[in-house]
């Protein structure tokens, strides 16, 4: 066996490969050669097909079952976005290709798509500029906190704290802390389920660098006082951040820019057609108002005078690189296709159906389950297993019992401020039949909790692996089990 490197590529005269040190003979020396054939397993095609098909069926996903995991927005994503994003000209594009000026050549189409997506997001969110670089929601939060820090440093502001509501997603305090700020929680008003304005007034001050707000928040409640909140914060030059992971609830209804938010991130993978799970891939573009544009990460996409596109690195105040090349390109591309396919009216319908479906579930289950904040919810609703706990049945038992009934459990024990929380997000893509089947499973479980609670403690019984020993897991793994938070 020999490997030939020295000849030029056949049929292409003039092509010369770079010189490299190839030994005169590339024959494998005698002592390294096999004496007999390798005992490789041989399988027929059908056996291989069956093996991989069986593996694929073990996978639980949106394409197989209802997946109402609150806050995570596990919605069905149209296959057409995959198909278009997989086109050769996009999928085979190398990130190091030069940005040519010749109209339709190589990178120009990709750059045009990204440039266009930035502008669509600007319009959807009411912001002045966007970067598509951040690779996830949490990454977007960190990017924005770094932008805020750069803004305060440039102005000579001495700021040390970031205020965050106590119901917020855990990534918020992490991002603020990684950016070097001290995190101060602000309580939620127990009556309204929204940020407590009085508490905010007491906590905010010259030391406040930023306030991070999720709206609708993780209780699924829309805070209509946001313009008052941004006004209070701006008195101290505190920057207000809109965690737009849940933008799927307000598309075409509310724009964070109009309520004077300074920066926002959007989870493309929860709002537009980009499937996610298992930790990725995602994309968390960040939008900012004019006074923060100079601090955006590099590179940025620019449109030249001759209408061609390029990546520009010349922004001296930029926070610098936060991702290699240009973000999660294929995820951005799928979101772009999704937005173009649905158009403005389609996007409004997405949010209307997401909100309708969540309210349908909330009101269908409000008799059987405790509802800590009973009011119109947005894209998700939060129930509590408080009533079932009287019979010794916890949120965890209900989640496991749902697995036996063919459903992915909702998010449990989050938000932390609700005891025995069950956070349900049906998303806009589910039919009434699916919602009804889920509701009847939940009613059945509530009935079992009253008549035969022990049965629920054994769930799941239909899966190959039964319930894990949570106590052992906590002890041996040194994990903090969320149940303790509520006790």
Binding site for ligand PLP (CB under 6 A): 71, 136-138, 169, 171, 214, 218, 243, 245-246, 267, 282, 284
Please say which residue, 358 or 459, places its beta carbon nearer to ligand PLP.
Answer: 358
Look at residue 455 and give its three-state secondary structure.
helix
Beta bridge partners of 384: 370, 421
**Contacts with 157 (C-beta within 8 Å, 6 or more apart), sequence order:** 151, 209, 237
Give least dist CB 287 to ligand PLP, A.
15
Question: For residue 391, what is the DSSP state?
Answer: T
Give least dist CB 218 to ligand PLP, A.
6
Give least dist CB 71 to ligand PLP, A.
4
Residue 469 dihedral angles phi and psi, to the nearest 5°: -80, 95
Give least dist CB 141 to ligand PLP, A.
7
Please say which residue, 217 or 357, places its beta carbon nearer to ligand PLP.
Answer: 217
| CA angle, 217 then 240 then 419, to 5° | 25
Give least dist CB 169 to ligand PLP, A.
3
Please say which residue, 164 or 445, places its beta carbon nearer to ligand PLP.
Answer: 164
Q: Which residue has the tokens 């829309």?
A: 222
Please say which residue, 127 or 245, places its beta carbon nearer to ligand PLP.
Answer: 245
Give least dist CB 73 to ligand PLP, A.
7
Q: Which residue has the tokens 């490299």?
A: 20
Q: CA 52 to CA 394: how far, in whole Å?
A: 37
Please say which residue, 140 or 388, places its beta carbon nearer to ligand PLP.
Answer: 140
The greatest distance separating any two alpha carbons of the chain, rounded to the nearest whole angstrom, comes to: 83
Give least dist CB 408 to ligand PLP, A.
16
Please say which residue, 144 or 209, places its beta carbon nearer to ligand PLP.
Answer: 144
Please say which residue, 239 or 328, places its beta carbon nearer to ligand PLP.
Answer: 328
Decide: residue 277, CB within 10 A, 0-12 exposed, 13-18 middle, 19+ buried: middle
User: What b/e sequence results for 294-320 when a residue is b if at least 16 CB atoms lie within 10 Å of its CB, and e otherwise?
Assistant: bbbbbbbbeeeeeebbbeeeebeebbe
Structure tokens at 215: 């709206």
Closest CA to 67 of 317, 473, 438: 438
Please say which residue, 246 or 427, places its beta carbon nearer to ligand PLP.
Answer: 246
> Is it true that the peptide bond before 42 is cis, omega within 30 degrees of 0?
no
User: What b/e sequence results for 5-41 when a residue is b if at least 16 CB atoms lie within 10 Å of its CB, and e otherwise?
Assistant: eeeeeeeeeeeeeeeeeeeeeeeeeeeeeeeeeeeee
Closest CA to 337 of 131, 123, 117: 117
Please say which residue, 107 or 214, places its beta carbon nearer to ligand PLP.
Answer: 214
Please say which residue, 173 or 284, places its beta carbon nearer to ligand PLP.
Answer: 284
Q: CA 34 to CA 209: how far, in whole Å?
A: 67
Q: CA 160 to CA 148: how far, in whole Å?
A: 12
Question: Which single residue brings its beta carbon nearest to ligand PLP?
Answer: 137
Give least dist CB 268 to ligand PLP, A.
9
Structure tokens at 400: 């496991």
DSSP of 22-57 = --S--PPPGGGS-SS--------HHHHHHHHHHHHH
Give least dist CB 179 to ligand PLP, A.
15
Q: CA 421 to CA 64: how far, in whole Å?
A: 25
CB atoms within 10 A of CB 402: 23
Give least dist CB 265 to ligand PLP, A.
8
Look at residue 70 and give its three-state secondary structure.
coil
Please say which residue, 139 or 159, places its beta carbon nearer to ligand PLP.
Answer: 139
Give least dist CB 284 to ligand PLP, A.
6
Give least dist CB 248 to ligand PLP, A.
10
Please say which residue, 72 or 393, places its beta carbon nearer to ligand PLP.
Answer: 72
């Amino acid at each position: 066996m020999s490997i030939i490197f020295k000849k030029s590529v056949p049929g292409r005269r003039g092509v010369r490969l770079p010189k490299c040190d190839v030994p005169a003979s590339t024959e494998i020396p005698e002592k390294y050669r096999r004496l007999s054939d390798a005992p490789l397993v041989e399988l027929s095609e059908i056996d291989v097909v069956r093996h991989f098909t069986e593996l694929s069926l073990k996978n639980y996903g949106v394409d197989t079952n209802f997946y109402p995991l609150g806050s995570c927005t596990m919605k069905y994503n149209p296959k057409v976005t995959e198909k278009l994003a997989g086109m050769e000209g996009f999928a085979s594009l190398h990130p190091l290709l030069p940005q040519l000026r010749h109209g339709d050549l190589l990178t120009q189409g990709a750059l045009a798509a990204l440039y266009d997506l930035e502008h669509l997001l600007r319009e959807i969110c009411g912001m002045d500029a966007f970067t598509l670089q951040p690779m996830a929601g949490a990454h977007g939060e960190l990017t924005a906190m770094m932008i805020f820090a750069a803004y305060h440093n440039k102005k000579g502001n001495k700021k040390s704290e970031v205020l965050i509501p106590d119901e917020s997603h855990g990534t918020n305090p992490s991002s603020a802390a990684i950016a070097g700020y001290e995190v101060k929680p602000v309580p939620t008003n127990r009556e309204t389920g929204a940020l407590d304005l009085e508490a905010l007034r007491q906590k905010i001050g010259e030391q406040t660098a930023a306030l991070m707000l999720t709206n609708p928040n993780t209780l699924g409640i829309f805070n209509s006082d946001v313009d008052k909140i941004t006004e209070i914060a701006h008195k101290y030059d505190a920057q207000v951040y809109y965690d737009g992971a849940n933008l799927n609830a307000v598309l075409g209804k509310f724009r964070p820019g109009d309520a004077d938010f300074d920066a926002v991130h959007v989870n493309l993978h929860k709002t537009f057609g980009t499937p996610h799970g298992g930790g990725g891939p995602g994309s968390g573009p960040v939008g900012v108002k004019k006074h923060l544009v100079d601090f955006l990460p590099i590179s940025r996409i620019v449109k030249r005078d001759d209408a061609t596109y390029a990546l520009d690195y010349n922004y001296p105040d930029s926070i610098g690189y936060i991702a290699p090349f240009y973000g999660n390109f294929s995820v951005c591309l799928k979101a772009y296709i999704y937005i173009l396919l649905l158009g403005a009216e389609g996007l409004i319908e997405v949010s209307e159906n997401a909100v309708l479906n969540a309210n349908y579930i909330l009101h269908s289950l409000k008799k059987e389950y405790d509802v800590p904040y009973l009011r119109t919810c947005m894209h998700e609703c939060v129930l509590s297993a408080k009533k079932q706990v009287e019979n010794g049945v916890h949120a965890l038992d209900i989640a496991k019992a749902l697995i036996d009934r063919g459903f992915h459990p909702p998010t449990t024990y989050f938000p932390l401020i609700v005891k025995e929380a069950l956070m349900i997000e049906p998303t806009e893509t589910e039919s009434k039949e699916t919602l009804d089947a889920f509701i009847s499973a939940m009613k059945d479980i509530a009935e079992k909790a009253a008549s035969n609670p022990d049965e629920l403690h054994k769930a799941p019984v239909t899966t190959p692996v039964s319930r894990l020993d949570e106590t052992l897991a906590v002890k041996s793994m040194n994990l903090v089990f969320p149940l303790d938070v509520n006790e």
